Structures are given as structure tokens and as C-alpha cells.
Amino acid sequence: MGHARAVTLLSLFMSATSPWRLAAQCPDGSPPPCSRAVSRAPAPNSVAVLYLDNLSRDTADAYLADGLTEEIIIRLGQIHRIEVKSRFEVQRFRGRSALDPQVLGRSLNAAYLMTGSVQRAGARVRLRVALVRASTRAQVWGDVIDHASSDLLTMESDIARQLATSITGTLLPEERTRLARTVTADPVAYDEYLRGIALVDSAFEERPLREALTHFGRAIARDSGFAAAYAGAASAWVSLADAFVPPLDGYRRARDAANQAIARDSSLAIAYAVLANAILALDLDAPEAERVARRAVALNPNDGWSHGNLSAVLLAGGRIAESIEEARRGWEADSLNAWLDTWYAQALVYGRQLERAEALLPRWRAFMAKRDVDQIEGMLRYARGDWQAAERLLDWRYYGGWFAGVYVRALLARGDTTGARATIDSMLAARATGYYNPLALARAYAALGDVDRGMEWLRRAFEERTLWVPLYLRLDDELAPLRADPRYTALDSQLRY
């Protein structure tokens, strides 16, 4: 790693002006009062990789600190002997690395803590990192890495290897090989990749997703063998499909990018997770989608997307209890991903576990964007029969009309037929000027009792290959008014379960 000097525990964790008390919140991130939980000692090989502080003058360099942190978390997560805390768990302590390590260790239930900072100055990057045993406050390993930006792509793999070795004692040969594997030899391509990754989690906004595709495209243009960049592009296309671009196009692009990633690196879990979505949408083949999704989970049991996509396949097949369990695992692995949060809430609603979902609302409110969590709460309010609250919270425009059908049903339940019809007119106008999901219109017309128009839009949903068809067709109460129609049976026969 070049010339390095040890970073003292005092400089990283303590100062005369440091705050010594956590902000008022429960261990799960929700506001008080907290539910009682039985405390347990942290696993001896558990670690929390705290977000690196961005000390660069340019705040736009925040993507670098966050990207390196998350890449280290992903790298360590590939070592199954190490229990790595999720992004959500460490996100709660962003900017609080000066707190007492014993307090942080107890709050995160982690035996080890990694903390540090990143500072870019011109063509050079300086990283300060330290690994501390939380219970004793003893520094196990520390380093100051001062290199040219061109060496950036080796930094996170070197750091992950040092952390893993310090925690486990000795790495197994296959673990050492896995950690030593570089994603690209091109530092500019790697920088573009980090910029894309910082944007791709914005699953419900079109602009950042398209910007992410631009960055991944630049990375691939510089290094055509960059498997992770192809996987990032596949993730972005999956998030764009159904809401912002026609799914037939979006899922085909996602499948192509995922296959390109797998051809270059067959160990990338995220590529298989995305491929499972594309198979379910394009081929309507649930068994094959499940096989591929399980491959993703086997490759990286700590990957939230993999569990979330497996949950979706299981829900499509009516295996609700299994779907909820996989959705929970995905959500716990990455609760900062808006799609995983919303999907977990939906799985709980389909499983009629409303109290369990409502208990999580304070946590979602604390960390999700207001518009995102409003849709979750609106869905729950509707399920509880509170039509007025559901109407107030839900947005028929949201993510291509994901909850538009529930919104129309809430209006009708309140006796506002005029408002329901006006909303459908607005949905049609939205489709005339951009992409709007046809299943949303099928649900809305079904709510009105207009079977012919409902069936017409359901047919279009099949033709456009929206993933919402295999996910919801057989389970969704919103489509119940259409099920007696022979045309519905003919469409349903295309699904492979």
C-alpha cells in the first residue's frame, strides 16, 4: 500500500469537542418510544464500516467517499465468515465517528468499527482509515494512504483485504483471491462507475437514473471488460422500465447489460438479480426467474437486490409467506434502497400483515423521501378503510401509476365518481405525452366496473411486457372485476408458473 503511518485512535474517535451522546432514537433508527429487545453480544467477526467523511473542498466529491465506503461494504460482504452491517445501519451514524467506540459498538451490535476520511486535492487522494475493537477501544489496524487518483481503484480492495485479515486472522486462499480481484484497470472508468453507483439507487426518479446510465456508458467506453459497470447499467434500466420507459425496451436493455456483465464476471450477484426480473417480465417464466434469482442470493447472501427480486418472483407464484421472508431479508440488507422498502411494505400488505407494516412506518418516515413513504402509508390507510387519508397520501402519477388504481378506488369508496373519472382522464393524458403503465389504467377501469376498457388495457400491459403483469395478475384484488371475462383467462394462460 506504499508509505503509511498508523492513525491514532484518539485522532479518529475522540476530541475535546466531540459529542458523547447519540441523538434520541431507537436502535433500529426509529424515534422513541423503543420496543424492548433482548440484547446480545455482537458476533466476534462482526464489523460496521462507517461512512468515510468527505474532507474535500468540493462537496461534489461526496460520491467518492460514499462510493468507496459502499464498495468496501460489498467487498467484505463477500467474505461469508464476516458479518458486515448494512448501509442502513451505518448510515444512521454518518458524521458521528468521533463518538465513543464502545457506544457505537453497542448501538450497532458490532465487534469492530472502521472509520476514516477521504480528501481529494487536485490529482491526489488521501484516505485515513482505522479499524478499532469497539469493546476495548483498541486500534487493530490503521493507515494513511496518499496516492495519485490513478491508484484509486486499488484502494478499496487493499483496505478490504487489510480489514478482513485483521478481523479473521488469516484469509482463506479463495477469500484472498476474491478480495484481490480488481473491477477495472482504468482509474477514469472506475471514477465514472462510482458516480453512476451514487445515482442508481434513486429508483423512483428518472433524471438521476439516466445520469447513472451516462456514467456507466463512459466507464464501459473506456473499459469494455468492466463487468460491474454493465451490471450497474442493467440495474438502472430495470428501475427505468415500467415507470419511465416502455418495459419491452427497458427490460431488453437490462437483460442485455446483465448478460454482458455475467459473460465478463459470472460471480456478480446483482447481474443475476436483474436478469431474473427481465426473464419474468419478458418471458413470463417464473420458474426460470426463480432459478436465476436464487443463483444471485447464493452468490451474495448479503445483497438486498437479490433477496428483493427473489421475493418478487415468489409473490408472482402466490408463495406469499416465502415472499415476505425474502423481502424482509432484502430490506434488512439495504434499507436505504427505496424500492426494497416499498416492496417489503407491499409484500406485507398482500400477506395481510398490516400491523407489522404500520410498526415500520416511523422508520420509513425517518429515512425515506416523503413522497415515497406517503405511498406506503396511503396503501396501508386504504387497506384499513381510511379512504380520505389514502386519497390525501397517494399520488396517481407516482412511478408510472404504481398506486394509481388504489387512488381511484379510494375516490370511488368516498363516492367521488367524478373525481375518479377525471383522474383516469389525467392518466390517459400522461400516457399521451410520455410513458404511463397500462396496468395502472386496467386497474382504474376495473375499479369503475368498465370491464371492456379494463381488458383492453390489460391486453396492452401483456403486449408491453410490464413486470407488473406477472407480479400482480393472480393476486391483485384490483383486477378481480376482470377475472370472469374469457379474455382474462386467455391472457392468464400465457403465464408460466
CA triplet 351, 273, 309: central angle to 5 degrees? 10
Report the C-alpha gap between 408 and 419 in whole angstroms. Answer: 8
Same domain, 41 and 135: yes
Per-residue pLDDT of the chain (497 residues; tens, 9 = 90+): 333 333 332 233 233 333 323 334 444 444 443 444 435 788 999 999 998 888 887 776 788 888 888 888 888 888 889 998 877 678 777 777 667 889 889 888 899 999 999 888 777 888 889 999 999 999 999 988 876 655 666 777 888 899 999 999 988 998 888 888 778 888 889 889 989 988 886 557 899 999 999 999 999 999 999 999 999 999 999 999 999 999 999 999 999 999 999 999 998 999 999 999 999 999 999 999 999 999 999 988 888 889 999 999 999 999 999 999 999 999 888 777 788 889 999 999 999 999 999 999 998 888 788 999 999 999 999 999 999 999 999 999 999 999 999 999 999 999 999 999 999 999 999 999 999 999 999 999 999 999 999 999 999 999 999 999 999 999 899 999 999 999 999 999 999 88
**Grid cell for residue 417:** 365518481
* Same domain, residue pair 21 and 119: yes
Q: Read off φ and ψ for residue 59, nearest 5 degrees.
A: -65, -20
Domain stops at, among 255, 283, 318 = 318
Peptide bond into 33 cis (omega under 30): yes
Furthest C-alpha separation in the chain: 75
Q: Are residues 171 and 193 in the same domain?
A: no
Question: Pick from 109, 71, 82, 87: which is nearest to 304 by CA?
Answer: 87
**356 occurs within a structural domain:** no
Domain co-membership, 196 together with 166:
no
Say if residue 76 is in the same domain as residue 198.
Answer: no
- The count of domains in the chain is 3
Residues 491 and 409 in one domain: yes
Here the cell at position 160 is: 478490504
Q: What is the CATH number of the domain that holds 219?
A: 1.25.40.10
CATH of residue 396's domain is: 1.25.40
- Asked if 211 and 157 sit in the same domain, the reply is no
Cβ–Cβ < 8 Å for 225, 193: no
Contact 255, 272 (CB under 8 A): no
- Residues 45 and 83 sit within 8 Å (Cβ to Cβ): yes
Q: What is the pLDDT of residue 14?
A: 30
Measure CA of the first residue to CA of the last residue in the chain; give whole Å.
52
Do 173 and 37 share a structural domain? yes
Determine, yes or no, domain membership for 284: yes
Same domain, yes or no, for 177 and 209? no
Q: Give the three cell numbers for residue 279.
A: 426473464
Which pLDDT value is given to residue 5?
Answer: 31
For 18, 413, 448, 452, the CA distances from 419, given in Å and listed in that order, are: 55, 11, 12, 21
Range of the domain at 147: 9-182
| 496 within some domain | yes
The reply to whether 375 falls in a domain is yes
Same-domain check for residues 177 and 216: no
229 domain residue, yes or no: yes
Residues 242 and 176 occupy one common structural domain: no
Q: Of the residues 149, 182, 215, which one is the last residue of a structural domain?
A: 182
* 270 & 313 share domain: yes
What's the CATH number where 46 sits?
Answer: 3.40.50.10610
String of b and e for 167-195 (b: at least 16 CB within 10 Å)? beeebeeebeebbeeebbebbbbbbbbbb
Closest by CA position to 68, among listed 160, 6, 138: 160
d(CA 349, CA 343): 10
- Per-residue confidence (pLDDT) for residue 395, from 0 to 100: 97
Last residue of a domain, one of 129, 163, 182: 182
pLDDT of residue 8: 30
